[in-house]
Amino acid sequence: MGSVKDLHVIENPSELPGKGRFIFSDRYSVFDYGEMPDLIEGKGKALCLIAAYFFELAEKRGMRTHYIGLIDNNRVLRLDEIDEPTNIMEIRLFRVVKPLRIGSNYDYTPIKKAKNNYLIPLEVIYRNVLPEGSSVFKRLRNGTLKLEDLGLNHYPSPGEELDEPIIEVSTKLESEDRYISWKEAVEISGISESEMDEIKRLTLKMDKLITEETEKTGIKNLDGKFEFAFDENRKIIFVDTVGTPDECRFAMDGVQVSKEILRKYYRQTEWYRLIDSLKGTDESWREKAKPPKLPEKIVKVVSDMYKSCCNEITGKRFFDVDSLKDVVRRMLEIAEDYNISLK
């Protein structure tokens, strides 16, 4: 399916949803490269359990999702029935109707003709805080984003907490995701204005749920992303995964609880400088730039970060690992060894 999780199809979707299983792997990706050379032990199981936790809570709050349950010894179970961590989740599958590529442009006619049971070709991003490194600052600087697009009356500063969440939208099924206006999002996705309003409402509702749950553990929910589909009755549902450190940007004590330490380590390498120069000008940039492996202690602390995050969010000790506060402290110490700033 992708660089970080696999999809086992049990039943293909047709006029009705199909059925499949996500197998969450210990692989990871940064800078849209794809699979990187190291494995992060325990990451797949941790993400699977966190996503299940939020899917089950969302359903209790009346939100629809494609989640069916977790797989243990080929049994479909709920999270509170699981004793040992699993990396397999059973889900409903929906059609992926792809746009036609015509040169450098895309024709979304096939999607507009679809009536139900398909992936909405958008990624919806929410922002509660604008941390340093947010794409918002780069886009404001280069003029592709304006303050009025964000509903702001002033230029934001890094780390600024927003009075109200900002919601943005990007493409999902193009070769490279691009931010688009809400008007274009409606045009390409075959949905109505009222359905787009419902997507925005659901985005804020899920953001609120994740924020409330993570705050209990001392984690701050900075931003994140969601994907949606229409089910067989054209009801909007959440798909993919929600609420994990890979879908969201979390922080504790001012330190990002995410892959940020990996990104910052690689930004210091010749590999990153090479891909940065090739992106946008050479479609084969991934083949021309192979990333180096990570130092072992960075791999270990990131592994512990995922596992500890899972323990604390779910409230169940699935992994024998230090508290997240202690792991974050170790991350800071290791980052200092490599001249990386995580604050």
pTM for the whole structure? 0.94
Is the pLDDT reported for residue 104 higher than 90?
A: no
Q: How far apart are CA 59 and CA 65, in angstroms?
A: 7
Q: How far apart are CA 45 and CA 71, in angstroms?
A: 11
Note whether residue 319 is domain-resident: yes
Amino acid at position 261, single letter: I
Q: Are 313 and 50 in contact (CB under 8 A)?
A: yes
Note whether residue 343 is domain-resident: no
Model confidence over 176-223: pLDDT tens digits? 889 999 999 999 998 999 999 999 999 999 999 999 999 999 999 999
Note whether residue 176 is domain-resident: yes
Note whether residue 13 is domain-resident: yes
Model confidence over 20-62: pLDDT tens digits? 999 999 999 998 888 999 999 999 999 999 999 999 999 999 9
What range does the domain containing 243 cover?
5-337
Instruction: Return the DSSP state at 252.
Output: E
Residue 92 β-bridge partners: 19
Q: Which of 329, 302, 341, 333 is nearest to 38 (CA)?
A: 302
Asked which of 58-62, 120-124, 126-130, 144-148 is least confident by mean pLDDT, the reply is 144-148
Return the pLDDT at 343: 77
Note whether residue 342 is domain-resident: no
Model confidence over 267-319: pLDDT tens digits? 999 999 999 998 878 888 888 889 999 999 999 999 999 999 999 999 999 99
Q: How far apart are CA 98 and CA 55, in angstroms?
A: 26
- Count the residues in the chain: 343
Asked which of 14-28, 111-125, 159-173, 272-286 is least confident by mean pLDDT, the reply is 272-286
Side-by-side strand order, sheet with 5-11 = 5-11, 18-24, 88-93, 67-72, 75-77
Note whether residue 29 is domain-resident: yes
Please report, for the domain that includes residue 308, its CATH number: 3.30.470.20
Note whether residue 104 is domain-resident: yes
Note whether residue 249 is domain-resident: yes
How many independent structural domains does the chain possess? 1
pLDDT band at residue 2, thresholds of 50, 70 and 90?
A: low
